[in-house]
Structure 1
């Protein structure tokens, strides 16, 4: 109960005030005051407490703070049954805007439990094997270059331009999408350089600049949304998107680093930027040699795009088409281990020092040491970095090292993570999937 019960003791014992008149017990007054507070006020208070607690102590601290509010009295406890409140809390704390579970309370609870599982190394590990590639006479040379996750699917893009789609609940292979054929400018010109889910669509692009769109529920069929022009634009080194924007990062032609498209019209709304100008030659080399990462682009929930190269990071406002922040590195970074998710971005320098920043301001959140890193990615609270054949995990609030995943997987070729899954493809044609939201 609330602290009002303890504060009422001294008043109740006397029965009279100093003036000799009967005084109403303080606990009665306080219960009356809480009873007349309108529900919107209490909901607003709970929301503000949740936001402040998440910023100060992390998302896992929000649930205990809310429990203290709901225990104040019966009226406040009844607010805990409000679905609009849990919808607001889920959006503010977990940045989740659509339901996967039956109610918003269930959605919030599941997010809390899953994030706790990330901290305690509680997961189920499975492996997915690539189906035979009938269009390639030498399957051993086929490499997974990109991975993307959604609530129900995982997609893997390969160096021949094909994309394999798996159904996450069953772990079964659903379909294989292939790019439309065209002339090749290099042995890896068809290699998938980026892919993402947008509603019921899977969008993927290749190094030669082609962009394809496939409907998840329509097997095999894909259409070419854009015919790339390497000579004019350069090589499409990375590609990201969300429900509103598609962003391509190009290298090879000056002043054309970013290509921003509307996801609705699929038309270009911006071309420009010098981020990859120093990497023009290396960009062209990707068509024949995929051993290095020279650029990476990500889109965060605030409609901000983050671009990385070995020398610089840029935060770009997609709505207003302007640079919000940039930094040049004294030491080159490992682009393969650079990532951005929600409010945070991460990069590792040549000495293995990982730096976590706030996306909007580039303000430093924490640092930690990750020597020997190969590839890496982050989700809303944790960093996952491949080092020496295993994946190690840090939390992003203070840079605390937590653990390594139990499975030794070898050389990693692509990685991705969201708020439930971590996925990594390896050189032995296997996708490793760790499910932190499964009921054990």
Structure 2
């Protein structure tokens, strides 16, 4: 099939799943040469549950074998069989199951959405990401900073987190600012409970877990704070850190089931795992960061590059890395290492991220790899130009794409096959921290040390 006919079919598929087929007039059955045949008789009398199950399986096969974009034309061809089969396209259960399988989406973005509308939104947003169709804006946070020229008072953004409706930014003074994505308004500033400091940046934010219900953030000294997203009560300190015995909390991540902290500074205590519901510590151990102890302690007095990263997958695995090692362990069987590797060329820690299903990392030669967390098997690879020159690389990924920044150049690849797509037009300087949202797949957010008073936001949502 030619590229033009393929794109036409894909566009027609978009119209069918969106219900935008008014230009086709009254539906006309396909010619006998295109009509599906069955030894069981007229396909128009097949039971609706059977047809619905068939449509789901056709979509799943197309998605798994070719890619998510193949679902629309596959369903388009299926619904052309006859008007009876086309009625299945109005099944909310079908679109709910498809949205869950194809887009890994388990709840509606808007309460008034149908599941078909949710699927269409995800499909078109994914296409926007693929074709560089987005809006760009900045979020300002210059409150409580009196002297912009005084480097001692300039805030450094250390972590970003995105949910469906909000963006949270954690700073070097321990504060977290919450923004509303749709209006771009700064809503609240969450402040930690201060105590005696071990160093100037001991309260700097080292990780954020954000949902539409609550905000959880941790600092280098090991404190963990929890606050309701509506700021109805002040942030409370859920866990007291003990840096002298545990080391410095260099990264913090998690889900609604687990909190995972990566520490550096004290041998044999690299990982701390908490039950997110009870907030109880359930595991301490690991030697991953033993060789990074000095780098960990330095974070208390100076803001250096990433020491290590930790991410939690949708299947209860924790992915952790330093510049020398990558490790995956099972949160359901704490202490059990699922996979481990010491890459020959080392790892650029700032490039490591996970979308919950797969992970990405770039080595010091600039070779990027998307891998399966459970086995570290390589799914695809790509090249980040300039990384081999020792430049800082900051990266992230969502379900469909990988974004890497090197000295202000923002490049996008497809996560499924490693194909290069484009560079973002905006150049904001070298990014110090960047995050792609892991839930709604709509935004890229970044902060630049050369432009400290605002956060940059790219919105790929349907438009």
In structure 1, the partner of 2:446 is 424
Q: 1:318 aligns with which of 327, 331, 338?
A: 331
Which residue in the other structure is 1:80 paired with?
Answer: 89
Paired with 2:232 and 2:386, the residues of 1 have a C-alpha distance of 40
Corresponding residue for residue 109 of structure 2? 100
On the 8 A contact 1:175/1:219 being kept in 2, the answer is no
Number of the residue aligned with 2:426? 407
1:258 to 267, 271, 290: 271
Report what 1:338 is aligned to: 352
Distance 1:177 1:91 in 2: 33
Is residue 367 of structure 1 aligned with residue 381 of structure 2?
Answer: yes
CA separation of 1:413/1:4 partners in 2, compared to 1, >3 Å: closer, same or farther?
A: same
Partner of residue 459, structure 2:
435
Task: Quote the residue 1:274 is aligned against.
Answer: 287
Distance 1:85 1:7, change over 3 A: closer
Pairwise CA distance, 1:139 = 6.4
How many residue pairs are counted as aligned between the two chains?
421
Structure 1 partner of 2:4 = none
| Residue 189, structure 1, aligned to residue 211, structure 2 | no
- Aligned counterparts, 1:55-134, within 5 A: 55-101=64-110, 102-133=113-144
Unaligned runs of 5+ in 1: 9-25
2:114 and 2:40 map into 1 onto residues whose CA distance is: 31
More displaced stretch, 418-427 vs 38-47: 38-47
Q: Comparing 165-174 with 314-323, which one deviates more in the overlay?
A: 314-323
Tell me the residue number matched to 1:48: 57
CA distance in 2, matches of 1:48, 1:252: 51
- Displacement of 1:326 in angstroms is 1.6
After TM superposition, give the deviation of residue 135 of structure 1 in Å: 9.3
Structure 1 pair 258–313 and aligned structure 2 pair: CA distance change class (3 A): same
SS at match of 2:350: helix
Preserved CA contact (<8 Å) 1:341 1:380: yes
TM-score under structure 2 length normalisation: 0.86
Tell me the CA shift for residue 379 of structure 1: 0.7
SS at match of 1:41: helix
Q: CA RMSD in A?
A: 2.2
**Do the aligned residues in 2 keep the contact of 1:144 with 1:159 (CA within 8 Å)?**
yes
Distance 2:363 2:422 in 1: 21
Counterpart position of 1:396: 415
- Taking the aligned partners of 1:280 and 1:48, their CA distance within structure 2 comes to 51
- Match of 1:347, SS? strand
Question: Which secondary structure does the structure 2 equivalent of 1:335 belong to?
Answer: strand
The answer to whether the 8 Å contact 1:314/1:323 transfers is yes
Deviation at 1:313, TM superposition (A): 1.3
CA–CA distance in structure 2, aligned partners of residues 365 and 131 of structure 1: 42
TM-score, length-scaled by structure 1: 0.91
Structure 2 counterpart of 1:385, from 404, 408, 424: 404
Q: C-alpha offsets along residues 403-423 of structure 1, whole Å, 9 cap, x if unaligned?
A: 111111002111111210000
- Higher mean C-alpha displacement, 328-337 vs 37-46: 37-46
Decide which structure has the larger Cα Rg and report it. 1
Q: Is it true that 1:158 corresponds to 2:180 in the alignment?
A: no
Q: Match of 2:221? A: 208
**Which whole-Å CA distance do the structure 1 matches of 2:44 and 2:428 have between them?**
58
Contact 1:146–1:194 (CA under 8 A) maintained in structure 2: yes
> Alpha-carbon deviation of 1:141?
3.0
